[in-house]
Structure 1
Amino acid sequence: MSLTVAVAGASGYAGGELLRLLAAHPEFEVTTVTAHSNAGQKLGTVQPHLRSMADLTLVETTPETLAGHDIVFLALPHGASGPVTAGLGDDALVVDCGADHRLEDEADWAAYYGGDYAGAWTYGLPELVLDGGSTQRDKLVGARRIAVPGCNATAVTLALAPGIRAGVIDADDIVAVLAVGTSGAGKSLRADLLYSEQTGSAVPYAVGGSHRHNPEIRQNLGAAGGTDVTMSFTPVLVPMSRGILATATAKLAGGIRPADVRSAWELAYANEPFVHLLPEGTSPRSGDTTGANTALIGVAVDEASGRVVTVTAIDNLVKGTAGAAIQSANIALGLPEAMGLPVDGVAP
């Protein structure tokens, strides 16, 4: 028997991507979709590409409309999930794609987000390697409340955590520069996201350590065994609708030979269905992950500078958000982890 699903924030990019993937899931049945300003409209009016669900009517996002479902996916603005989830009981599996439940340190929440702190939930990045030798996947089994990682945090974490856990790179001088598609900024109307403003230009934002994914990345790399994690993280908005290409570098640890570096990533991701280490000497393209729940990683050693260089590609709306949410829900419910999730991208 199918599990009933509600998707809150179904009119946005993340909500729409959740619905696109859920439509192909053999065990999940979407029965309720909610929105704010678009409540009362047919889903097909605001998400015309979702033909199989076009006749669903968007309703208001309240604990009452979300109650009674087996699974609730939240794709709401930051700060909006906490008040909604407080009104849901313990029966449903609740998966939050927003930031409200990612951070373990209340001081980090206050510094980067502000407002009421809603508490940390089980973190939904199964492939995160942990210092003790396990992965975050073990903690997701049987979870009833899951916080989906930020898309930039996913890319940088997957890029560097294996090297930190294996001790082949240091965590005290990380530099990450990310080329990010415009859908990562959401669907709201903003002058700086207009086609004429973005086309033909690359624009850095949140320069100087102010991006809200900073504490999340440091939290993850600390869980992988990093001490005194310091990072310079700069995202750059580029004229593509979706995707992230993250170049992250770290110092080669003392006594580590360049020839020994690659094995850390090979060991970490050898059996992962969605995180793939590319052959030596190759790097991914962001477009190779479009529409897929995959992370493609290239690893190299810059011997002249004594640094390890990683290049990671993900689709910010799939592996960076909706795909991670469904993957984590599959694990929590004891379903096959890859159920309903694509590994093949869309080209050209």
Structure 2
Amino acid sequence: MGISVAVAGASGYAGGELLRLLAGHPDLDVVAATAHSQAGQPATDTHPHLISYRDLVFSDTSADVLAGADLIFLALPHGASAALVAQLPDRSKVLDLGADFRLADADAWQRYYGGPHAGTWTYGLPELPGRRAVIAASDRVANTGCYAVSVITGLAPLIAAGVVEAEDVVVVAASGTSGAGRSAKIALLGSEVMADLSAYKVGAHQHVPEILQATGARTLSMTPVLAPMARGILATVTARPSSSGLRVEQVREVLAEAYADEPFVHLLPDGRQPHTAATLGSNSVQLQAAVDLNSGRVILTSALDNLGKGAAGQAIQNANLMLGLDETAGLSANGVAP
């Protein structure tokens, strides 16, 4: 018997991906998986691809069901975690995949999410400087948002190094439909999504304050785009250079140094662009950099699996640190193709 974990919200896409990754984890054992409307149903009714859970039945989501686990994953809708956490014992190690505890600024929470601010937990992106030790010492960790990972990994080292300005950052990022969750929505029907691209939450996406908080950027405009694919994010980030004549080699040097020893963030060879398909099923981020010939702006492109490094894979990585395990346990840097 290994270390016991429980998954709340296991019937959703992120919850299902957590179960898939946990099934292959050498040290973690799932002792409970909860759902809402699917409570009482076999897990394989919802996730037929998870055949190793054929004997698992979803339970109601309650503190009593979850509290006995060594670590609890919360894969619940934004705003739903805080009430459940309040019922859990203080000793419980909890990792929240939702947004409830990511932001330090209560006003930012109110502006972008609405409702009362639940508080602030340790922010769970190990690749940020100094984060690993803090995550490892924490019992409560807030997992990074999916779009946020795709932007922060490229932008944060460049702002920290003084290569780009913290003002006037522009992000355009396309995400697969699984990022919107599993609830039925007309806009996510196959006949609505296929052969179509559409922007949404333009000028008011909830990951903006998280990106500002983690990167040190001061102003950021973000346009999310819904893409006709199930999973994946491709982000394009542009920023003003701090000095004229900045060369792409200088930008790449900063990124190469920042991620030289990182198992899951990869600066691609010069001239090769990130592809979402190359990251599917993995915990990897692929990065590339350029300097625009006309404007001189720095252009960062990144790709990741929004259910992997953007959600469940990132959560496993953080959990490994919280439990004193190998950070890469149960995770792969390799994608699945075709």
Indicate the TM-score class for this superposition, using the shorter chain for normalisation.
Answer: over 0.9
Q: Superposition pairs for residues 199-348 of structure 1, below 5 Å?
A: 199-207=194-202, 209-222=203-216, 226=217, 229-254=218-243, 257-258=246-247, 259-348=249-338
Q: Which residue of the partner structure matches residue 159 of structure 1?
A: 154
Q: Which amino acid aligns with 2:174?
A: A
Q: Distance in 2 between matches of 1:282 and 1:344?
A: 17
Q: Which residue of the partner structure matches residue 97 of structure 2?
A: 97
Q: Is the 8 A contact 1:11 1:46 kept in 2?
A: yes
Q: CA deviation at 1:90?
A: 2.7
Q: Which amino acid aligns with 1:164?
A: I
Whether 1:28 aligns to 2:22 is: no
Q: CA deviation at 1:138?
A: 2.4
Q: Which residue of the partner structure matches residue 61 of structure 1?
A: 61
Q: Distance in 2 between matches of 1:343 and 1:265?
A: 18
Q: Distance in 1 between matches of 2:251 and 2:144?
A: 26
Percent of aligned pairs with the same amino acid: 53
Moved over 6 A (4+): none
Q: Distance in 2 between matches of 1:237 and 1:2?
A: 39
Q: Superposition pairs for residues 176-191 of structure 1, below 5 Å?
A: 176-191=171-186
Q: Which amino acid aligns with 2:150?
A: A
Cα deviation per residue 1:18-41 (whole Å; 9 max; x = unaligned)?
A: 000000101100010100111111
Q: CA deviation at 1:168?
A: 0.4
Q: Distance in 2 between matches of 1:168 and 1:116?
A: 37
Q: CA deviation at 1:303?
A: 3.7
Q: Is the 8 A contact 1:142 1:334 kept in 2?
A: no
2:278 is paired with a residue whose SS is helix
Q: Which amino acid aligns with 2:207?
A: H
Q: Distance in 1 between matches of 2:243 and 2:95?
A: 41
Cα deviation per residue 1:282-334 (whole Å; 9 max; x = unaligned)?
A: 21111100000000001111142121111100000000000000101111221
Q: Distance in 2 between matches of 1:323 and 1:240?
A: 19
Q: Distance in 2 between matches of 1:337 and 1:140?
A: 11
Cα deviation per residue 1:31-57 (whole Å; 9 max; x = unaligned)?
A: 101001111111111111111012111
1:299 is paired with a residue whose SS is strand
Q: Unpaired runs of 5+ in structure 2?
A: none
Q: Which residue of the partner structure matches residue 123 of structure 2?
A: 123
Q: Which residue of the partner structure matches residue 167 of structure 2?
A: 172
Q: CA deviation at 1:256?
A: 6.2
Cα deviation per residue 1:200-252 (whole Å; 9 max; x = unaligned)?
A: 00010011x21111111111112xxx4xx111100100100000000101011
Q: Distance in 1 between matches of 2:2 and 2:91?
A: 16
Q: Unpaired runs of 5+ in structure 1?
A: 129-133
Q: Which residue of the partner structure matches residue 131 of structure 1?
A: none
Q: Which residue of the partner structure matches residue 51 of structure 2?
A: 51
Query: Greater CA deviation, 253-262 or 5-14?
Result: 253-262
- What is the aligned residue count? 337
Q: Which amino acid aligns with 2:9?
A: G
Q: Distance in 1 between matches of 2:30 and 2:250?
A: 47
1:183 is paired with a residue whose SS is helix
Q: Distance in 2 between matches of 1:254 and 1:342?
A: 38
Q: Distance in 2 between matches of 1:151 and 1:4?
A: 26
Q: Is the 8 A contact 1:245 1:285 kept in 2?
A: yes
Q: Is the 8 A contact 1:281 1:300 kept in 2?
A: no
Q: CA deviation at 1:135?
A: 3.1
Q: CA deviation at 1:340?
A: 0.5
Q: CA deviation at 1:9?
A: 0.4
Q: Distance in 2 between matches of 1:82 and 1:239?
A: 33
Q: Distance in 2 between matches of 1:197 and 1:37?
A: 25
Q: CA deviation at 1:255?
A: 5.3
Q: Distance in 2 between matches of 1:125 and 1:213?
A: 14
Q: Distance in 1 between matches of 2:90 and 2:61?
A: 18
